[in-house]
Amino acid sequence: MDESDYRVSKDASPFDDFNEPEAELQPVRRSNPRTIAASLAGLFLLIAFHAAQTAHWAAHDTRPPAWDQSVQLETAWDLKEALAKGDLAGAMRMRPKPGMPPFPLLYHFSIQPALSAPDPVAVALWVNWAYLALLCVAIWGLGLHFLGEWEGLGAAVLFTCVPEMGWLQREVLVDIPLTAWVACAYWALAASDSFRKKAPSALFGLCFGAAMMTKWSAFSFFLPAVIPFWSALTGFGKTAPLLAAGLAALVCLPWYIAQAPILLPRLFEAAADQAVPVWKGGAAFTYVFLMGSGLEVPLLVLGVGGAFVPTAKRRNEDHWLLPAWFLTSLLFWTIVPNRQLRYLLPGLVPLGVLAMGPWPKQLSIAACALSLLMAWNYPRAFLPHLSVGGVPVSLLRSDKPAKEAWPLGDILKAAAELRDTSLPFANLAFVANHPRFNGPVLNWERKRLGLSGLRIRGVTKRYTELCEFVVVKAGDLGPSSVTGQLPEVQKVMLDSGRWFGRGWKEVRSFPFPDGTQAVLFQRRRLGAPPLAPGRVTVAYYEEGHFKAEGMVLDFGPWDAERGVYRTVGVKADTLTIRGLQVDGVELTLENLAFFNADETDAAKSDPLSDPRFTRLDAVTLRRASVRAESLAAFIQDRVKGLEGVAVTIDGGAVSASAKFKGKTVKAALSAALLPGGKGIEAKPLSASALGFPLPAALLGTATLPFEPTSELPFRIAMPSLKLEGGWLRVGG
């Protein structure tokens, strides 16, 4: 045995607490080909076991996907449509879903074949299984590198058989694919000998890029990799680390550049969703409790214990990567306010390897056998769940599949058949936030069925204005933490004596598997005008975020066949919309229908005391002006943290400067009507933050189309748009 058969183990890394101070040199154990073959056979059987689990779930569960799962499917569908048109630029710049950051495209690309299947969800689960198989191989490789052949197999068993994996295995989510790419990257990093070898280093770069193209948060699991990367750059060679960095950038950087203008603000919004700061309550221990139920006894106890118990088997100079990978991931995701165990999952992979290190062989074998039993039991609930009150660790959790027919497609098809085809589409508002009946799943089902004449919309403070259809779930609306005002809305709509019945009528009902029903309402055609045609003067009106002063309404002829005013002219000295003051407003409304929702005696004398609009086909903004000072006040009010906002408007451009946490930020953009008056296009001219200029090209061009949308379901038109002399002016 020569010197190449030894590795330096002492003082090999900055994580000295994880080194066992014994001999300077330890022999590297060489693998036996027969043992590797036997271990690989066991790995194949493990992957086959997970295939059987996937088949069992796909055959016994018919429920629609839940919230996030539906969003992932809808995003994949949007990508499919963009690719079918050959619109690669559109695919790179796909608009994110409301309240969410943009999603990288790799996972959605990988489930494209499932979207053409009769049951896309069932087929997508097999894509999950393929990623799970990749994860099994990666964990096996990590175990082989750090411990040995059988330890690698045991690590794959322990990690992939926990309840959290059993749940994610049958959900259309990115977490298993992300975990697989992260594990592959670490295996390549370990094989690269701290970026000394080119081929594994290149593979690390590719896997890192794939992880970043699966989810933006992938970087959080690679913090320990900075140490060998920097050491290689500043020490023994730049070729391998630069090769890794270059390949990673080639894979993921184009998408992140394309999405940069909207990605950063959306990430902060998403991270703060239902957030509890780490210093409040027991937030710092959230993941301790989540790991207790999601990982259960074998992996939790042996894995966490193995992170801190030294073992002679871990004599590689890079063994510190495993506990560092786990601890840095745990720290990062504990600080992030929104906490779910699946977010931390890629950082828990090293626990599987660490669990196989310091313990007697008999204990490791028993832990693996128990884990396989737990995984088999999870979708079957043959054995009872064992837990102790007050203790966050349990055993034999289960969650059985269910054959339930939720008639979401029938509801949407009924609305599509009944809708007013004279309009480009019909808005359908839903009253529920149930795991199986919510906005994302309705949107996914609508796109899957190809019902382009419908748009799905939630309930606002104005309830269901400008919606042709409203579907209300009776009974359980969903978890109280996400239903908000919906119970109150449900009560108003299902009570036939309330104001809602004046504007919408029940047309169909659909039974749900939970013993409740969904009631479909359609907009009424009003039989008589709420006000006779003619002029009405309103000195002052205020409702919510809307305020009008000096308003004059000219109600045109009433169309009895459609139950609408053909035209309504509106003039106002000032309109204030969400804090933005607009002066000298003149506009025309076409095909307007409304009724008074006021249930008090005031409604008898004032038909406009609480108007609720049910239909509006078009708005022509003939004249309006916004002062630079008004725009500055609006920006300062709407963007938290900005102070001293100053705005100038001239030469077709708007320039703004402000202080953000004491630092100067500036931006300038031009705005003009699109050809044919189809919308407004805003182009960034310049931007700077903290004294550093930002490339305007990276900010992208924003367009506001005037075609109807679910939020504004009417056409918009304006004669001209000018930005000059301190004013933004529409019309003459």
Q: In the predicted model, is pLDDT for residue 194 greater than 70? A: yes
Count of CB atoms within 10 A of residue 727's CB? 16
CA nearest 124: which of 61, 204, 206? 61
Pair 211, 144 in one domain: yes
The domain boundary residue, chosen from 616, 645, 678: 616
231 part of a folded domain: yes
**Lowest-confidence pick of 309-313, 322-326, 527-531, 567-571:** 309-313
Residue 164 and residue 84 share a domain:
yes
What are the tokens at 14?
């900055």
Arithmetic mean of pLDDT over the chain? 89
* 182 and 279 both lie in a single domain: yes
Q: Does the residue 26 lie in any domain? A: no
Dist. CA 126–CA 111, nearest whole Å: 9
Residues 605 and 692 in one domain: no
pLDDT higher than threshold 60 for residue 390: yes
Does any domain span residue 24? no
Question: How far apart are the C-alpha atoms of 430 and 81, rounded to whole Å?
Answer: 25
567-to-558, 559, 562, 588, 624 alpha-carbon distances in Å: 9, 10, 13, 7, 19
Q: Which pLDDT band, with edges at 50, 70 and 90, does 30 fall under? A: low
**591: pLDDT confidence band, cut at 50, 70 and 90?**
very high
Tell me: do 446 and 546 sit in the same domain: no
CA–CA dist 178, 184 (Å, integer): 10
Q: Both tokens of residue 651?
A: 């030469």
Q: Are residues 125 and 165 in the same domain?
A: yes
- Claim to verify: residue 129 and residue 278 sit in the same structural domain: yes
- Look at residue 690 and tell me whether its pLDDT is greater than 80: no
HEC string of 45-72 equals HHHHHHHHHHHHHHHHCCCCCCHHHHHH
**pLDDT tens by residue, 268-283:** 555 445 555 556 666 7
pLDDT for the residue numbered 7: 39
**Cα–Cα distance for residue pair 399/705, rounded to 1 Å:** 46
Q: List residues bridging with 185 in a β-sheet.
A: none
Domain residues for 481?
408-523
The pLDDT assigned to 26 comes to 43
Q: How is residue 519 written in tokens?
A: 């009631």
| Domain-located, residue 38 | no
Residue 23 covered by a domain: no
**Residue 527 contacts residue 546 (beta carbons within 8 Å):** no
Cα 235–chain centre separation: 41
Residue-wise pLDDT for 174-183, tens only, equals 999 999 999 9
CA distance 449 to 396: 39
* Residues of the chain above pLDDT 70, percent: 91
CATH of the domain at 426: 3.40.190
pLDDT at 277: 59
In a domain, 622, yes or no: no
CB 619 within 8 A of CB 589: yes
Asked if 106 and 167 sit in the same domain, the reply is yes
Which residue, 616, 644, 679, sits at the end of a domain? 616
In a domain, 151, yes or no: yes
pLDDT tens across 606-634, in order? 888 899 999 999 999 999 999 999 999 99
Cα separation, 356 vs 353, in Å, equals 6
What pLDDT score does 695 carry?
73
581 and 699 fall within a common domain: no
Q: Which among 23-32, 230-239, 360-369, 660-669 has the top mean pLDDT?
A: 360-369
What mean pLDDT comes out for the span 342-348? 96
Percent of the chain's residues with pLDDT above 90: 69
Domain count, the chain: 4
Contact 426, 453 (CB under 8 A): yes
Q: How confident is the model at residue 21, as a pLDDT?
A: 40
Q: How far apart are CA 430 and CA 489, in angstroms?
A: 11
Residue 483 has pLDDT above 60, yes or no: yes
Q: Is residue 389 in some structural domain?
A: yes
pLDDT, tens digit, 9 for 90 and up, residues 429-462:
999 999 999 999 999 999 999 999 999 999 988 9
**pLDDT band with cut points at 50, 70 and 90 for residue 236:** confident
What pLDDT score does 510 carry?
A: 98
3-state SS record for 207-275: HHHHHHCCCHHHHHHCHHHHHHHHHHHHCCCCHHHHHHHHHHHHHHHHHHHHHHHHHHHHHHHHHCCCC
pLDDT of amino acid 689: 75
pLDDT at 17 over 90: no
Q: Are residues 336 and 253 in the same domain?
A: yes
Is residue 505 located within the same domain as residue 582? no
Q: Which residues pair with 537 in a beta bridge?
A: 552
- Is residue 144 domain-shared with residue 72, that is, in the same domain? yes
CB distance 507 to 514 below 8 Å: no
Q: Which amino acid is at 129?
A: W
- Residues 6+ positions from 437 with CB-CB distance below 8 Å: 406, 408, 430, 473, 478, 512, 518
- Give the contacts of 52 (CB within 8 A, at least 6 positions apart): none
Tokens at residue 342, please? 């699946």
- Provide the token pair at 496: 């036939």
Strand partners, 656: 647, 667
**592: part of which helix (H) or strand (E)?**
strand 580-596
Last residue of a domain, one of 523, 548, 581: 523
Structure tokens at 610: 């609480």
What does the pLDDT read at residue 575? 94
Whether 658 and 637 have beta carbons less than 8 Å apart is answered as no
Distance CA 399, CA 421 (A): 44
Q: What is the pLDDT of residue 687?
A: 83
Confidence of residue 265 (pLDDT cuts 50, 70, 90): low
